[in-house]
Structure 1
Amino acid sequence: MAALQQNADHGASSAARKPGVVTGPGGKTILSSLPPLSLYVHVPWCVRKCPYCDFNSHELKGELPERDYLDALQADLEQALPSVWGRQVISIFIGGGTPSLLSSAGLDRMLAMFRACLNVLPDAEVTLEANPGTAEAGRFIDYAASGVNRMSLGIQSFDDRALKALGRIHDRKQAMAAIEMAQRAVPRVNLDLMFALPGQSLDECERDLRLAMGFGTGHLSLYHLTLEPNTVFAKYPPVVPDDDASAAMQEMIAHATAEQGWERYEVSAYARPGQRCRHNVNYWEFGDYLGIGPGAHGKLSFHDRIVRQARLKNPASWMEKAIRRDGSHIAQDRPVQWKELGFEFMLNALRLKEGVERGSFVERTGQSIFAIAPAIERATAKGLLDPDPTRLQATPLGWAFLNDLLSEFLD
């Protein structure tokens, strides 16, 4: 995901001296320190588009245009460099689509490009998403040799009937084999699972979960299937568990993961000690992220503004225009409005179970905490926000009804 702005050297160089904010011309508060920076890279192609997917993914027709894609990716990155010059990159996330369609040589070229152009920390978390249907043991080992140290596998289910209903190209056997391949290749592995699937029972949901926990990986992402607009499932909705059944699944997941020592640290994320996803935590703490590749979104902070940006979604158009190096590959580039910052910050921060320190609101938005004081008072009075004066944190009730809590900050 990405957000860029040109001529940002002043913001990058002047920001790392002292935390907090200072008052600029006309009394406007400005940032005097920049948050951590991550890099998101989008690989848009899939073997087959899943009927529930609303991501920017495109069914591959013919051979993967790997060379053209990497040439365009380099042009995209090089045009973005003035926006992040000198800043350290704490994490890289290669998502899609299906990044595991990339060849070993292609992934190696990509990561070498990042190290050459960016100040990537030696211990940066480098995650690559992979589809079990495209898993190859040798390729996973090569990815690790190139610098990938974390893999995220789109398992979704271990039930062959459910996988077929979801339009996945892998089966239970391939899912289990992919997990073992990933564990041999990298030290950290995440498994993506979905629940409330078409025709799924509570027992079937629990079998999926317990099998996933039994592999010994350090991270689980558990998502409720939703019928998103502009998907096949939205047009031809399958029969899915009702609200009571899906609530029972969520309750079972909460108890079963806690019993096995998993910490639910974010709405959909569960981790063993020391296994939280550093990249995603940076999103939720309102950190910065530069995104490159078709359809990538993101956010960058400067000394006097915070901007959001999006690349063109269509892969062919993005490749054609990125290589021109005239900025035409960027579909959107706008500063976040002053009145939007409070909601945007809380939209992310309140997804974390422990929330964030109140001071981080000032540091990351440049606003006084008084800017959202009325919303804090309303949410606290309703029992949705913890009254702790040092933190911004949902109560258990607020976390269970997060949309209601966030609505307090829309004004």
Structure 2
Amino acid sequence: MFKLSPISIYIHIPWCLKKCGYCDFYSYVSKEIIPEKKYIDNLLKDLEKDLLLIEKRKINTIFIGGGTPSLLNKESIKKLIYGIKERAFVSHKAEISIEANPKTLEFQRFVDYKNAGINRFSLGIQTFHTHLLKKIERTYDSQEAINIIKETKKIIHNLNLDLMYGLPNQRLEDALLDLQYAIRYNPSHISWYQFTIEPNTSFYAQKPKLPNDDMIFKILIQGEKLLKKSGYKKYEISSYSKKNYECQHNLNYWNFGDYIGIGCGAHGKITQKNGKMIRTIKNKNINDFLNGNYLSSRNVISQKDKIFEYFMNVFRLYKPVFKKHFREKTNLNEIVIEKSIQKAIQSGFLINKINYWNTTKKGKNFLNLLLEIFLK
């Protein structure tokens, strides 16, 4: 019988104070009072329907993302966490994370979130330079960002800081100074990723001037040296952590684990005992969702998509990809990807060993080209 592992829950909170010009995540700008109570009630009903698909599998991680989840008050977060634990088998060691915006939090709310069961905070800092924050349309300044880190550190140790490099008109010294600021406050985890402009954003319609590729490469090389020297290990393309503080929720994604997605626009991937994988997508229309119409689509993932999605995730990690893991997570034999593997090896992207594959330095540097082989 196909082996089923523990599962994660992703919860989408769709409201924001302002839609940033580069953001392509699904969100609403909050101009009125948020219908928190009604949304939480519907989130829990949405969860109940998806729990029927997982047959009492243990929940190892919960991630509340958005949007801006920290807009919610303490009663809403408490009701949400307690409601999940009443309905699902949540591990007593579960990592429970919430994303937060420096503009929406105050110290007492941190305490209330922690008391409700949140044990990991992820602060969307992006940069400590006020002039760059303005360029990317964030709603706070550098001092507010610093203050929020100091306050959060008083009550919780498991803290991630989100930072971006390659911002409009950003210099090498700007990017390195961002890392130096972050390191000074000793977070357990730093997510440091390149600023990109996605379709369907206002920045895509009117593109700002970004640093050239040579500058991006210099920032990446020097930034990674600084992070390594400061005790942060790179375990994924854009993730750096202190020992034993890797993000367990994201590791589940990158290891092609299963997850329930609840809330407006949330995606889920749930493997059945027969090995079939179901992709769920929830309704993006907030009014429909609040009226109980949760599901937008539910489909079985094709073999082709399953293979591509598997490698799209596991190749992000800085560790070998074991062939046994491929078989367990996809319910496929590696013979179905033999031609793709050989092409990746011939291109210098992969090394083939008896029990595992490993990406070369070239493979990591040209990850999109490597993934194209498996897409075809």
Please tell me the TM-score bracket, short chain as reference: over 0.9
TM-score, normalization by structure 1: 0.89
2:137 matched to which residue of 1? 167
Q: Deviations over 1:300-345 (max 9, x none)?
A: 000221011100112222212x2xxxxx421111001122221111
Alignment root-mean-square deviation, CA: 1.1
Q: Distance in 2 between matches of 1:57 and 1:355?
A: 36
1:93 pairs with 2:63: yes
Confirm or deny: 8 A CA contact 2:54 2:272 kept in the other structure. Answer: no
1:377 pairs with 2:322: no
1:385 maps to a residue whose letter is L
1:293 pairs with 2:258: no
Select the residue among 214, 217, 223 that pairs with 1:253: 223
2:219 maps to a residue whose letter is M
TM-aligned CA deviation for residue 93 of structure 1: 0.2
TM-aligned CA deviation for residue 248 of structure 1: 1.3
1:310 maps to a residue whose letter is I
1:367 pairs with 2:332: yes
2:38 matched to which residue of 1? 68
Identity %: 37
1:270 pairs with 2:240: yes
TM-score, normalization by structure 2: 0.97
SS at structure 1 position matched to 2:340: helix
Confirm or deny: 8 A CA contact 1:89 1:120 kept in the other structure. Answer: yes
Q: Distance in 1 between matches of 2:119 and 2:52?
A: 28
SS at structure 1 position matched to 2:108: helix
Q: Distance in 2 between matches of 1:40 and 1:242?
A: 35
Confirm or deny: 8 A CA contact 2:5 2:57 kept in the other structure. Answer: no
TM-aligned CA deviation for residue 34 of structure 1: 1.0
1:38 maps to a residue whose letter is S
SS at structure 1 position matched to 2:350: coil
1:240 pairs with 2:181: no
SS at structure 1 position matched to 2:22: coil
- Count the aligned residue pairs: 375
1:182 pairs with 2:147: no
TM-aligned CA deviation for residue 378 of structure 1: 1.3
SS at structure 1 position matched to 2:337: helix
Confirm or deny: 8 A CA contact 2:162 2:192 kept in the other structure. Answer: yes
Q: Distance in 2 between matches of 1:388 and 1:266?
A: 21
Listed as ranges, the gaps of 5+ residues in structure 1 are 1-21, 23-31, 323-327
Confirm or deny: 8 A CA contact 1:342 1:371 kept in the other structure. Answer: no
1:306 matched to which residue of 2? 277
TM-aligned CA deviation for residue 186 of structure 1: 2.0
Greater Cα offset, 281-290 or 372-381:
372-381
Q: Distance in 1 between matches of 2:278 and 2:121?
A: 29
1:394 pairs with 2:362: no
Q: Distance in 1 between matches of 2:312 and 2:252?
A: 13
Matches within 5 A, 1:106-145: 106-145=76-115
1:318 pairs with 2:283: no
Confirm or deny: 8 A CA contact 1:35 1:301 kept in the other structure. Answer: no
Greater Cα offset, 238-247 or 142-151:
238-247
Listed as ranges, the gaps of 5+ residues in structure 2 are none
2:4 matched to which residue of 1? 34
1:309 maps to a residue whose letter is T
TM-aligned CA deviation for residue 142 of structure 1: 0.6
Confirm or deny: 8 A CA contact 1:285 1:356 kept in the other structure. Answer: no
TM-aligned CA deviation for residue 407 of structure 1: 1.1
2:301 matched to which residue of 1? 336
Greater Cα offset, 38-47 or 331-340:
331-340
Runs of 4+ in 1 over 3 A off after TM superposition: none
